[in-house]
């Protein structure tokens, strides 16, 4: 990891001005809720009233020059989402209140949502060993994604037929752009060339004859907030695209969920609740989802297959959707090792029946 260029102390003055304008002289309690660990980190601050537990505002602060672009992208996405769907997916998407940039940095202010990240539940003792609990996680994710697919597009975005491999979104979500990014990132790696070739070859198989929709772009359980058993908020919209394929979000959720199934199990031991899954090399949970048998692989495949069927495609292509999802993470992740792990895993799974 490279050392990020941290912004100068003037960022504190910008943040102070924003807090003063939105909260007045009595700021209540400020809690630094999250500090991202990537090369361009951002801090998320939640403002609470002096008395009370209901959050007032969420403030995202860009800590590097690179993070400024991410904050700006999220602000644009939230503004466009509000233009297309004034309800903001039933109130589950933060509403943009302010965004400011100066020579020191960038600060974005949004509404805040009450709720607990699904990732907290995920890592609770034996949560992922419970078929009922995991099924509820997938039901929450699927129900919310269906609502997002029905959300209106902002003015100027015309719906048109799409494909997960031939989408017209603005991110690195198309088969062609993913394939090019893989080869550009690892020009001498045979795995990159093999995965890129496969990604290109499956584009036509995944074509769809239905309008595209908004795509979150980083839909994993850490960005999903729940309250009273239902999705209360979905955060971190910097990778959002419009007129894109909704299967991208289903693939990302399924892959990220499978990835950490053996996180709390000693290597070489069986993972509780999942017959046939033994904690081992990186990505063992994803291998299990692809080729294992049991309630979890069945649930994950059905989750992706349901998305295929809902968009007029062959439900049997779930494997290709997940392979393309692995390729996209490999092509776009800021973490070099994390990206290469996904590349190697994707290339490995190509040879599996």
pLDDT digits (tens, 9 = 90+) for 22-56: 998 888 899 987 666 667 788 999 999 988 889 99
pLDDT band at 330 (very low <50, low <70, confident <90, very high): very high
- The reply to whether 116-350 shares the fold of 10-111 is no
- Tokens found for residue 242: 């419009």
pLDDT of residue 25: 83
Of 65 and 287, the one with more pLDDT: 287
Residue ranges of the domains in the chain?
10-111, 116-350
Identify the CA nearest to 326 among candidates 308, 306, 348. Answer: 348
Contacts of 56 (CB under 8 A, 6+ apart): 23, 28, 47, 48, 49, 112
Architecture of domain 116-350: Alpha-Beta Complex (3.90)
pLDDT of residue 158: 59
User: Could you report the per-residue pLDDT of 54-64, keeping only the tens digit for each?
Assistant: 999 999 999 88
**The three-state (H, E, C) secondary structure of 67-103, written as one string:** HHHHHHHHHHHHHHHHHHCCCHHHHCCCCEEEEEECC
CB 242 within 8 A of CB 255: no
pLDDT of residue 243: 84
pLDDT of residue 264: 94
pLDDT of residue 36: 66
pLDDT of residue 263: 93
pLDDT of residue 34: 64
Identify the CA nearest to 330 among candidates 172, 127, 115, 213. Answer: 172
Residue keyed to tokens 């004034």: 86
Q: How far apart are CA 279 and CA 277, in angstroms?
A: 7
Cα–Cα distance list, 182 to 57, 200, 241, 326 (Å): 39, 11, 20, 11
The CA-based dihedral angle spanning residues 330, 336, 337, 343, taken in that order and rounded to the nearest 10 degrees: 20
Asked whether the whole model's pTM tops 0.85, one would answer yes
User: Could you report the per-residue pLDDT of 167-215, keeping only the tens digit for each?
Assistant: 434 344 578 889 999 999 999 999 999 999 999 999 888 887 766 789 9
pLDDT of residue 173: 56
Q: How far apart are CA 34 and CA 171, in angstroms?
A: 25
pLDDT at 72 over 50: yes
User: Could you report the per-residue pLDDT of 285-325, keeping only the tens digit for each?
Assistant: 999 999 999 999 999 999 999 999 999 999 999 999 999 99
Fold of the domain built from segment(s) 10-111: Phosphorylase Kinase; domain 1 (3.30.200)
Identify the CA nearest to 308 among candidates 197, 176, 165, 173. Answer: 165
Of 159 and 147, the one with more pLDDT: 147
pLDDT at 160 over 90: no
pLDDT of residue 334: 86
Q: How far apart are CA 293 and CA 201, in angstroms?
A: 28
pLDDT of residue 171: 43
CB 160 within 8 A of CB 292: no
pLDDT above 90 as % of the chain: 72
């Amino acid at each position: 990891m490279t050392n990020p260029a941290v912004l100068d102390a003037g960022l504190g003055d910008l943040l102070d001005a924003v807090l003063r304008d939105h909260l007045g002289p009595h700021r209540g309690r400020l809690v630094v809720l999250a500090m991202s660990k990537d090369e361009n980190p951002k801090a998320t601050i939640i403002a609470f009233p002096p008395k009370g537990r209901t959050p007032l505002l969420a403030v995202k602060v860009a800590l590097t020059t690179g993070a400024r672009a991410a904050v700006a992208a999220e602000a644009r996405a939230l503004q466009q989402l509000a233009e297309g769907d004034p309800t903001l997916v039933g109130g589950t998407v933060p509403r943009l209140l302010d965004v400011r940039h100066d020579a020191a940095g960038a600060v974005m202010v949004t509404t805040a949502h009450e709720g607990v990240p699904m990732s907290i539940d995920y890592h609770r003792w034996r949560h992922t060993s419970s078929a009922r609990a995991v099924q509820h996680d997938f039901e929450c994710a699927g129900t919310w994604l269906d609502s997002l697919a029905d959300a209106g597009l902002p003015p100027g975005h015309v719906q048109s037929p799409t494909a997960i491999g031939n989408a017209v979104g603005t991110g690195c979500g198309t088969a062609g752009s993913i394939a090019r990014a893989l080869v550009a990132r690892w020009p001498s790696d045979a795995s990159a060339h093999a995965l890129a070739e496969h990604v290109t070859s499956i584009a036509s198989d995944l074509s769809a004859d239905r309008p595209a929709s908004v795509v979150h772009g980083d839909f994993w359980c850490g960005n999903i907030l729940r309250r009273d058993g239902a999705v209360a908020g979905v955060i971190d919209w910097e990778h959002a695209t419009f007129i894109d394929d909704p299967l991208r979000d289903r693939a990302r959720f399924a892959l990220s969920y499978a990835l950490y199934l053996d996180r709390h199990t000693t290597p070489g031991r069986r993972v509780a609740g999942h017959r046939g899954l033994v904690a081992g090399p990186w990505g063992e949970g994803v291998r299990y989802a692809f080729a294992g048998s049991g309630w979890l692989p069945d649930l994950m495949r059905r989750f992706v297959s349901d998305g295929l069927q809902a968009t007029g495609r062959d439900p049997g292509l779930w494997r290709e959707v997940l392979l393309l999802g692995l390729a996209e993470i490999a092509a776009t992740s800021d973490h070099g090792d994390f990206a290469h792990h996904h590349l190697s895993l994707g290339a490995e799974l190509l040879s599996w029946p």
